[in-house]
Amino acid sequence: MMQRLRFTLLLIGATVLSLALGNSLLHAQGGADYILREVARLHALPPALHEQFRLAPGAWEVGDHDDYALAVDAGAYHIRVDAADKLVWGTGPDDVPADLYAEVDAFYVAGPLDNSFGLGFRRQANGDMYLFSASSDGFYRLAKVTQTGLAEIVPWKATGWPAAEAGNATRLGVFAAGPEISLLIDGEVVEMAWDDSYAAGGVALAASAPGGPGVAVAFDDLAVWPLRDEAGTAPESSTPGKPTPAVTPTPAPHAMTDPAAVAARLAAIRAEPREFADDFRRDAGRWALIETDGGVTTRTDQALRIEVSEPDTLVWSSNDGARPADFLIEADATLVEGEPAGEMGIIFRQQDSANFYLFAVNGYGAFALLQQEAGEWRDLVPWTQLETTLIVPGVTARLGVLAEGDALTLLVDGEIVAQVEDDSFGRGRLALAAGTFDSAPAVASFDNVDIWILTDIVAPSRPTAVPLPAPAADTVDLLAAVQATLPTVSDFFAVDTRLWRLVDTLAVSAQIKETLAVTVSEPTALGFIYRTGARADDFLVEVDAWLDDGETPGRYGIAFRMADGENYYLYLLDDAGHAGLWRYDDGEPIALIPFSNVPGTKTAPGRNRLGVLAQGDALTLLLDGAAIATVVDATHGSGDLALVAGTFDATPVVAHFDDFNEWRLPASAQR
């Protein structure tokens, strides 16, 4: 059990240096803009650690004590502090990168707003660590936790943002490169500091009660990335403890559900245009290239080459594209060098470095389907001898995976070799991989990669003749009253005010330059640009929106009451001027208002002013300042807000947003 420190926030003397962004301290690799670019790049890569607290506590400390409690419950890590002036932390994994970017969503649950909640990093065995804390009344601090108390590196400073409300998330981020430590809140760099006390260590989550007992906070979506070099290389992953294949695998046929139907499905998919193809004749920047002690990935000889130099190591190169749920991927694979037990294959539905599927073949002519979940390996298909295909070093085999729902079909040279059902992972990254067991090296090359994305985010159906439900009379009166007042928040997108969490990936990118321009480059996909800061359950928002041109069919709109990325409401217009409202439950869309004809909408590239008035369970859609429909639905009561652009079949689609206004409803209008 980690020792808990009780003190009245008495500071001890220490030799520390901290300068705010406006002063002379410069990050060794650049300033705040560099940090934000690096964070955006890291967000496009799988984190080394991603904890959503969906399962058992695992490496996280839990327990109920007289004056504090630590628990994993309801998909979050909870800390309760029942004694004033007490600092409590729960320890997490020790094996995290020394130089890292870490972020976590922190939620105020109950108790005094004069509290603190924070992210501990570079935690030592005796509990010493750095602690980045924020408070629900709008302050932040960086300190060292020591055996005798706290040593402040950055004293408490005001964020200038409103106080938190119950259930609202604050995203804390730490970018630590050597002694240089940058602090982020909701995607904004708020401080850069320097301290060389701790070079590496574990992570922790913490809370304290300076304003009195009864503090309750929760944490979710903790993610940690190792810092890479400026080339943006992805991490090599060493995974000891993988199952070792027998030298002579035992034949073990696997029954398939209607092989003829699967073969017909494959033929139909291959007849369609591919979403992605790569013959590696030029570097398209779509594959992560790495160089570490455990392995190297390079593009050479018109192929992707993966060299593994250590035993019991798996090295992969991720495709920096979509994270599809259903897909067909095929690739030519050759075992160039190494022992026959060396493997090569395809990683799919990868969540992070410890959660994915691996379809592998080896030089003995055997294949397997392996699953790694929370770092533990499991055989879905044990190593099995192929009956018709010869895979030996120097011979090329065409490997493939067809994933549709929980049906996972494995292909070698176009033939179905196995089909299993597993629903552990619903979507994720694709990667090419090579690995070793007891001996090294292993060298594999890959070429002629083809990817068909069968479903991503389900595209709402095209227009129907369903009439719009009439707006409620009391809603129309409330709308007029609210519009007559000044907005709580406005953004004209002349400059980046940090009100929006911008992204820059190959699938979705956004920039602010007189408008908010959102580009979506994947078919049947949606790109979300989240609003940062405090949020209101009941509100009115309005924004001008339009498509860049009228040539590429697309959609744009507002997502609201977003509990997470799979549960929210979505108001959309399409290029033809049709409007609709959907509710997403666990990623599945339910049409509350299917795409319908709306008098007065302007077709692309015409500009429309969209709006949503959310009051309790009454959800009213607006067009050009007027209510056009009201739906009553209480499924999602609170959550984030985002502006959305989306594609149908053709890409890319560019949507613009301007003149954003948000009103928080007055107390008299709250339910």
Q: Which CATH topology does 5-226 take?
A: Jelly Rolls (2.60.120)
Reading the block at residue 97, the tokens are: 């990168």
Q: With contact defined as beta carbons under 8 Å apart, do 522 and 589 qualify?
A: no
pLDDT class of 214 with cuts at 50, 70, 90: very high
State the pairing for strand pair 180-185/188-194: antiparallel
- Tokens, residue 283: 């570097």
Rounded to whole angstroms, how far apart are CA atoms 499 and 556? 19
Closest CA to 547 of 608, 621, 462: 608
Which homologous superfamily does the CATH classification assign to the domain defined by 473-669? Exo-inulinase; domain 1 (2.60.120.560)
Query: Which pLDDT tens digit goes with each residue over 121-142?
Result: 999 999 999 999 999 888 999 9
How far apart (Å, rounded) are the C-alpha atoms in residues 407 and 403? 6
CA distances from residue 139 to 22, 155, 157, 486 in whole angstroms, order as listed: 18, 10, 5, 27
Strand partners, 253: none
Show the tokens assigned to 116.
């603190």
CA distances in angstroms from 146 to 180, 204, 283, listed in the order given: 19, 14, 49
pLDDT, tens digit (0-9, with 9 covering 90-100), for 466-504:
567 778 888 888 999 999 999 999 999 988 888 999 887
Residue 181 has pLDDT above 60, yes or no: yes
**Torsion region of 280: left, alpha or beta (phi above 0 gives left; psi -120 to 50 gives alpha):** left
Cβ partners under 8 Å of residue 37, min gap 6 = none
* Domain-wise residue ranges, the chain: 5-226, 259-455, 473-669
Q: What is the C-alpha separation between 392 and 382, in angstroms, rounded?
A: 19
The answer on pLDDT for 351 being more than 80 is yes
The span from the CA of 664 to the CA of 659, in Å, is: 17
Strand positions, DSSP E, 227-325:
276-278, 295-300, 303-308, 314-318
Exposure letters 398-426 (e unless 16+ CB within 10 A, then b): bbbbbbbeebbbbbbbeebbbbbeeeebb
Question: Of 459, 237, 437, which Cα lies nearest the Cα of 351?
Answer: 237
Q: What CATH class has 259-455?
A: mainly beta
Q: Tell me if residue 645 falls in helix, strand or coil.
A: strand
Return the beta strands (E) in 492-617 as ranges. 500-501, 508-512, 516-520, 526-531, 539-547, 554-564, 567-574, 579-585, 588-596, 608-615
| Residue whose tokens read 């590496």 | 200
Residue with tokens 């990669």: 449
Q: Range with the lowest mean pLDDT among 320-324, 472-476, 610-614?
A: 320-324
CA–CA separation, 511 vs 657, rounded Å? 11
Instruction: Summarize pLDDT for 506-515 with one digit per residue, the tens.
Output: 678 899 988 9
Tokens matching residue 305: 């080459």
- CA gyration radius, the chain: 26
pLDDT at 490: 92
pTM value? 0.41
* Cα–Cα distance, 460 to 654 (Å, whole number): 18
What is the sign, positive or negative, of the torsion defined by CA atoms of 600, 603, 609, 612? positive
Share the mean pLDDT of the chain: 82
Residue 333 has what pLDDT? 94
What pLDDT shows up at residue 200?
A: 93
624 vs 113: CA distance, rounded Å: 39
185-212 burial: b if 16+ Cβ within 10 Å, else e: bbbbbbbbbebebbeebbbbbbbbbbbe
User: Tens digit of pLDDT for each residue in 4-53?
Assistant: 232 323 222 222 333 333 322 333 334 677 788 888 888 878 888 888 88
Are the CB atoms for 320 and 287 separated by under 8 Å?
yes
259-455 and 473-669 have identical folds: yes
pLDDT in tens, 553-574: 899 999 999 988 889 999 999 9
